Chains A and B, each alone.
Chain A
Amino acid sequence: MRRSVAFLLFSLSALLPVYGKPLTYKGGTLVETRNNGAENSVIVTHTVTPRMALGARVDYFSGDEEWLTTVTYSHLLKRWNTPDSQANVWVTLGAGVMSQSGDNDYDNGGMGNLNNDAEAAATIGISADWETRRWYLSYENRFIASDDSKFHQSARVGVAPYIGSYNGINTWLMVQVDHRPDEDESFAVTPFIRLYNQRIMGEIGISTRGDVLFNASVQF
Chain B
Amino acid sequence: MRKLAISTVMALGLTAPAAAENILVGVNGLVCAFCVHGIEATFKEQPQVETVKVDLDEKTVAVVTKAKMTLDDAAIEHLITEAGYTPIKICRTKDAGRAAPTESECKQLKTASSTQ
- In the assembled complex, how far is the CB of residue B10 from the closest CB belonging to chain A, in whole angstroms? 41
* List of B residues within 8 angstroms of A132 by Cβ: 31
**Cα(A199)–Cα(B39), bound, Å:** 12
Interface flag for A80 (CB, 8 Å): yes
Check B84 against A23 for contact (C-beta < 8 Å).
Answer: yes
Number of interface residues of B (CB under 8 A): 29
Produce 1/0 per residue, A164-182, CB < 8 A to B: 1110101000000000000
**Cα(A24)–Cα(B38), bound, Å:** 7
Which of A62-70, A83-91, A110-118 makes up part of the contact surface?
A: A83-91
**Cα(A21)–Cα(B34), bound, Å:** 11
- In the assembled complex, how far is the CB of residue A63 from the closest CB belonging to chain B, in whole angstroms? 31
Interface flag for A26 (CB, 8 Å): yes
Interface flag for A121 (CB, 8 Å): no
Interface positions of B from 59 to 116, Cβ below 8 Å from A: 59, 81-86, 114-116
* List of B residues within 8 angstroms of A156 by Cβ: none
Interface flag for B54 (CB, 8 Å): yes
**Cα(A85)–Cα(B114), bound, Å:** 11
**Cα(A164)–Cα(B70), bound, Å:** 32
A contacts with B: majority SS: loop
Check B36 against A79 for contact (C-beta < 8 Å).
Answer: no
**Cα(A39)–Cα(B59), bound, Å:** 38
* List of B residues within 8 angstroms of A209 by Cβ: none
**Cα(A26)–Cα(B81), bound, Å:** 10
Look across to chain A and name the residue whose beta carbon is closest to the beta carbon of B56: A166
Interface flag for B1 (CB, 8 Å): no
**Cα(A76)–Cα(B81), bound, Å:** 13
Look across to chain A and name the residue whose beta carbon is closest to the beta carbon of B116: A79
Interface flag for B14 (CB, 8 Å): no
Complex A-B: 6 CB contacts under 8 Å:
A24-B84, A50-B84, A81-B86, A82-B29, A131-B32, A196-B34
